Protein backbone atom coordinates (compact mmCIF):
# COMPACT_ATOMS: atom_id res chain seq x y z
CA UNK A 1 0.00 0.00 0.00
CA UNK A 2 1.46 3.33 -1.09
CA UNK A 3 1.39 6.53 0.93
CA UNK A 4 -0.91 9.31 -0.15
CA UNK A 5 0.31 12.45 -1.87
CA UNK A 6 1.08 15.29 0.52
CA UNK A 7 -1.00 18.46 0.29
CA UNK A 8 0.80 21.65 -0.70
CA UNK A 9 -0.36 25.23 -0.33
CA UNK A 10 1.06 28.61 -1.33
CA UNK A 11 0.59 31.58 0.97
CA UNK A 12 2.06 34.68 2.55
CA UNK A 13 4.05 34.70 5.80
CA UNK A 14 2.19 36.86 8.32
CA UNK A 15 4.39 36.18 11.37
CA UNK A 16 7.95 34.95 11.84
CA UNK A 17 8.53 35.88 15.46
CA UNK A 18 8.87 32.31 16.73
CA UNK A 19 12.01 30.20 16.41
CA UNK A 20 11.84 27.76 13.47
CA UNK A 21 8.13 28.52 12.97
CA UNK A 22 6.23 30.81 10.63
CA UNK A 23 2.53 31.54 10.33
CA UNK A 24 1.32 31.34 6.72
CA UNK A 25 -2.00 32.80 5.52
CA UNK A 26 -3.42 30.93 2.54
CA UNK A 27 -6.19 32.86 0.81
CA UNK A 28 -8.80 31.12 -1.28
CA UNK A 29 -11.87 32.53 -2.97
CA UNK A 30 -15.13 30.72 -3.35
CA UNK A 31 -18.60 31.63 -4.50
CA UNK A 32 -21.34 31.66 -1.87
CA UNK A 33 -23.71 28.77 -2.66
CA UNK A 34 -26.91 30.81 -2.32
CA UNK A 35 -26.07 34.48 -2.89
CA UNK A 36 -23.32 34.05 -5.48
CA UNK A 37 -20.99 36.63 -3.93
CA UNK A 38 -17.29 35.77 -3.98
CA UNK A 39 -16.10 35.22 -0.41
CA UNK A 40 -12.46 35.14 0.75
CA UNK A 41 -11.43 32.52 3.29
CA UNK A 42 -7.98 32.89 4.85
CA UNK A 43 -6.94 30.07 7.18
CA UNK A 44 -3.60 30.40 8.99
CA UNK A 45 -1.15 27.48 9.07
CA UNK A 46 1.80 27.06 11.43
CA UNK A 47 4.75 25.80 9.38
CA UNK A 48 8.23 24.61 10.34
CA UNK A 49 11.02 26.81 8.93
CA UNK A 50 14.22 24.90 9.68
CA UNK A 51 16.68 27.59 8.55
CA UNK A 52 14.77 30.65 9.83
CA UNK A 53 14.99 32.15 6.33
CA UNK A 54 11.38 33.34 5.97
CA UNK A 55 10.33 36.86 6.88
CA UNK A 56 6.96 38.58 6.96
CA UNK A 57 5.60 39.23 3.49
CA UNK A 58 7.41 36.34 1.80
CA UNK A 59 5.38 34.09 -0.48
CA UNK A 60 6.14 30.49 0.45
CA UNK A 61 5.07 26.98 -0.52
CA UNK A 62 4.26 24.68 2.41
CA UNK A 63 3.75 20.92 2.52
CA UNK A 64 1.78 18.74 4.91
CA UNK A 65 3.88 16.67 7.32
CA UNK A 66 3.58 14.67 10.52
CA UNK A 67 2.65 16.62 13.67
CA UNK A 68 5.71 18.51 14.86
CA UNK A 69 4.09 20.23 17.84
CA UNK A 70 0.64 21.09 19.17
CA UNK A 71 -0.15 23.35 16.20
CA UNK A 72 2.52 22.62 13.55
CA UNK A 73 1.51 20.17 10.83
CA UNK A 74 3.19 21.86 7.84
CA UNK A 75 6.74 22.65 6.74
CA UNK A 76 8.18 25.24 4.39
CA UNK A 77 9.28 23.67 1.10
CA UNK A 78 10.50 26.76 -0.73
CA UNK A 79 10.41 30.54 -0.71
CA UNK A 80 8.66 31.49 -3.94
CA UNK A 81 9.18 35.27 -3.62
CA UNK A 82 11.02 37.33 -1.03
CA UNK A 83 9.34 40.38 0.53
CA UNK A 84 10.49 43.78 -0.66
* The predicted structure's pLDDT at residue 20: 95
Phi-psi region for residue 17, left (φ > 0), alpha (ψ -120 to 50) or beta? alpha
pTM of the model: 0.87
pLDDT band per the 50, 70, 90 thresholds, residue 1: low
DSSP 84: -
CA distances from 47 to 23, 41, 82 (A): 6, 19, 17
* The predicted structure's pLDDT at residue 35: 97
Q: What is the pLDDT averaged over residues 52-60?
A: 95
* The predicted structure's pLDDT at residue 5: 85
- Give the chain's domains with CATH numbers: 8-81 (2.40.50.140)
Tens of pLDDT, residues 11-44: 999 999 999 999 999 999 999 999 999 999 999 9
Amino acid sequence: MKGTAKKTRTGVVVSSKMQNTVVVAVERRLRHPIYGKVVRKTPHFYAHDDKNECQEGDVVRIMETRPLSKLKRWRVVQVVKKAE
